Amino acid sequence: MRLLIDRLERERRLEKEEWMALIGELPEAEYLFAKARAAAKRQYGTAVYARGLIEFTNYCKNNCFYCGIRRDNANVDRYRLDEAEIMDCCKTGYALGFRTFVLQGGEDPYYTDEKLERLVWRIKASYPDCALTLSVGEMSKESYQRLFDAGADRYLLRHETADERHYRRLHPKELSLNARKACLLALQEIGFQTGCGFMVGSPGQTVESLAEDMLFITEFGPQMVGVGPFVPHHDTPFAKHPKGSVERTLYMIGLLRLLKPALLLPATTALGTADANGRERGVLAGANVVMPNLSPIGVRKKYALYDDKICTGEEAAECLAGLRRRMEGIGYALSMERGDPVKE
Ligand code: SAM
C-alpha cells in the first residue's frame, strides 16, 4: 500500500479500484499524513490561512435531506443579515486582520442578483486588498458572471457526491448532480477560484462513492476542496444516522493533498465538531485553511447545519485567538493573508 501512496504522489492520479483499496481500508495513515504534510509545506510552508466566515442567511429554498436549515425544517429560527450588518462583520474582521471574507448562506430568494452584486461591490470597494468568497448555492451562469464582474474572487459549491445514485439519496428530486456539476463548470469558466467538496459518511455513501469523488476532482481541477464528516441534525430525515468517520475524513484530506498539492483545503468546522482536536488533526493530515466565524454572536446558533456545531458562543476575536493557539500548538502559523492558490 505504501507503493500505491507513492504512486499517487508521483503520478497524481489513480484508477478507481486503487482509490477504493485505499479509502476502504485506510492503510498506512501515518505514512500518508507525513507525505501530505511535506507536500503542503513545499507549497505553503507552515501557513494555515484564516478565512472570516459570515453566515448571512439561514433561509433556504432547498430541501437537502442532511441539512439543518432545509426548507421543511419549521423549527429553524430564520434570520438574514442586512447589508449594513454584513458590512459591520467585514469591518470587525478587517480590524482583526482578516483578508478573506466568505459570505455563506442558504439559497435565499430575498438575496436577488442585484442585492448580492451590490454587496460584493461594496465589500470590494471598502476592502480592495481582501479576497471575497461566495457560497450561496446554484445560480445561472449569467448570475455568477455578474457577481464575478462585481469583484467576487472565489466560489465554494460542494458537489456533495459525484455518485449519481448517492446524490439522489441525499437530495429531493428537483436537485441533480448534473445541474451541480454544470454550475461548477460555469464558475470555473468564468474565472472564479472554485471549490467543490463532499461530506464523509453521509447516508448511502459507499467506498465507491468516495472513489468517484476522487475521480471527479482529478478531472475537474478545483482550487479548493471542502471535506468534512457528515454530522446529523435532529430535525432532518437523517437525524438517526451516525456521524461520519473522523479517521476517514482525515485520510481523504491526506489523499487530496497528494492528488493536488496546491489545493486550499480547510480543516472544517464539521471536523472540529466531530472531534475536539479535529482542526489540528486536519492540518496534520494536510489541510491548510481554517474558517473562523465572523457572524454576529446573536445569529450563530441559528445557522445550525448539524447538531452541536462548535464556535457558536465565542466572539470573533476569541474564535481567532483560539485557533491561533491551536495552530501554534502543532507547529503551524495562522496566516491572515489572502492566501491565493500557488502555481505549481
Ligand atoms: N447553500 C450553499 C450550498 O448549497 O452550497 C451553501 C451553504 S450549505 C449549508 C454548506 C455545506 O454544508 C453544504 O455544501 C454541505 O456539504 C454542508 N452540510 C450541510 N449539512 C451538513 C451536515 N448535516 N453535516 C455536515 N455538513 C453539512
pLDDT of residue 317: 86
- Number of residues assigned to the chain: 344
Q: What is the average pLDDT across 151-166?
A: 98
Q: Is any ligand 1 atom within 6 A of the Cβ of residue 233?
A: yes
Domain boundaries, the chain: 2-335
Query: Which pLDDT tens digit goes with each residue over 273-293?
Result: 999 999 999 999 999 999 999
Q: How far is the CA of 35 from the centre of ligand 1 (A)?
A: 29
Reported as a pLDDT band with limits 50, 70 and 90, residue 19 is very high
DSSP 153-222: -EEE---B-S-HHHHHHHS-TT--HHHHHHHHHHHHHHT-EEEEEEEES-TT--HHHHHHHHHHHHHH--
Q: Is any ligand 1 atom within 6 A of the Cβ of residue 106?
A: yes
Q: Which residues have C-beta within 8 Å of that of residue 212, sequence separation ≥ 6? A: 16, 161, 162, 163
Q: Is any ligand 1 atom within 6 A of the Cβ of residue 258?
A: no
The amino acid at residue 239 is A
Choice from 305, 308, 310 to test ligand 1 binding pocket (greatest atom count within 8 A of CB): 305
For the chain, the distance separating the N- and C-terminal CA atoms, rounded to the nearest angstrom, is 26
Residue 269 backbone dihedrals phi, psi, to 5 degrees: -65, -35
Q: What is the average pLDDT across 33-49?
A: 98
Tell me the helices (H) and strands (E) count for the chain, helix number first: 14, 9
SS (H, E, C) 23-72: HHHCCCHHHHHHHHHHHHHHHHCCEEEECEEEEEECCCCCCCCCCCCCCC
- Burial class of residue 279, CB neighbours in 10 A (0-12, 13-18, 19+): buried
Q: Is any ligand 1 atom within 6 A of the Cβ of residue 137?
A: yes
pLDDT of residue 85: 98
- Residue 4: how many other CB atoms lie within 10 Å: 16
Q: How far is the CA of 305 from the centre of ligand 1 (A)?
A: 7
Q: Is any ligand 1 atom within 6 A of the Cβ of residue 187?
A: no
Atom of ligand 1 nearest to the CA of 231: 24
Query: Which pLDDT tens digit goes with each residue over 96-111?
Result: 999 999 999 999 999 9
Protein residue whose Cα sits closest to atom 11 of ligand 1: 158
Residue 251 has pLDDT above 90, yes or no: yes
Q: Is any ligand 1 atom within 6 A of the Cβ of residue 270?
A: yes
| 3-state class (DSSP) for residue 80 | strand
Protein residue whose Cα sits closest to atom 5 of ligand 1: 137
Q: Are 202 and 195 in contact (CB under 8 A)?
A: no
Reported as a pLDDT band with limits 50, 70 and 90, residue 314 is confident
Cα within 13 Å of Cα(255), Cβ side: 28
Q: Is any ligand 1 atom within 6 A of the Cβ of residue 158?
A: yes
Residue 52 backbone dihedrals phi, psi, to 5 degrees: -85, 115
CATH class of 2-335: alpha beta
